[in-house]
Structure 1
């Protein structure tokens, strides 16, 4: 029998994939849900790009609810995972880059708008 306690990291098998997450079997009659936001540290739009049914995965048990449902996380089972609060604040270089990127995107939108206006004028 697999010990399923909040905070423990166990190996399970992906048994079902849905748009909202993956059901992972931890042992006989023990299945938990990895919500799509807990699959990878990056934003996951298509869970099928990250997981397949039958695949073995390492999961961290986040919570066992009163009704017996088990919340799991794949990204938090990674030893290199840092909690949001533990991450260092962004540096000045990051902030400068973000400002330049916003300015570029704004200018790009303006250019694209001008191109669309000229096309409409020609028609």
Structure 2
């Protein structure tokens, strides 16, 4: 029987990364998985941007399977929460509507507005 329980925070080492999540191991060699949807609330296209093999992170136990493996989340890890807040600040380029045709004249008209917005950040 494992000593880990739901709601507990544990330090884990990333042992492998797949498109669907990161395989991890506790210091006493209990295996687990952090599903890609449990890294942060934002959509993540590439998990390698946030995690790397060998990295040690603090994760929260969501569940312990019958074979003792851990199902973990990073959503309550302060580092990953800060990453979410950084993503909330949108670039001026994010405001350009894809359907909108941008030409040199409209860029000249928008430039002062974009400069003012960039100064706010």
| TM-score bracket for this pair, using the shorter chain length | 0.5 to 0.7
TM-score by length of structure 2 reads 0.60
Q: Secondary structure at the match of 2:24?
A: strand
Confirm or deny: 8 A CA contact 1:9 1:77 kept in the other structure.
Answer: no
Kindly indicate whether residue 99 of structure 2 is the aligned counterpart of residue 109 of structure 1: yes
Q: Deviations over 1:39-97 (max 9, x none)?
A: 1232111000111110110100000122333100111234996xxxxxxxxxxxxxxxx
Q: Across the two proteins, how many residue pairs are aligned to each other?
A: 88
Structure with max Cα Rg = 1
Confirm or deny: 8 A CA contact 1:19 1:46 kept in the other structure.
Answer: yes
Change (3 A) 1:6 1:52: same
Q: How far apart, CA to CA, are the structure 2 residues paired with 1:61 and 1:26?
A: 11
Question: Which ranges in structure 2 are unaligned for 5 or more consecutive residues?
Answer: 82-94, 103-121
Q: Secondary structure at the match of 1:109?
A: coil
Kindly indicate whether residue 15 of structure 2 is the aligned counterpart of residue 25 of structure 1: no
Q: How far apart, CA to CA, are the structure 2 residues paired with 1:79 and 1:52?
A: 15
Q: How far apart, CA to CA, are the structure 2 residues paired with 1:58 and 1:28?
A: 15
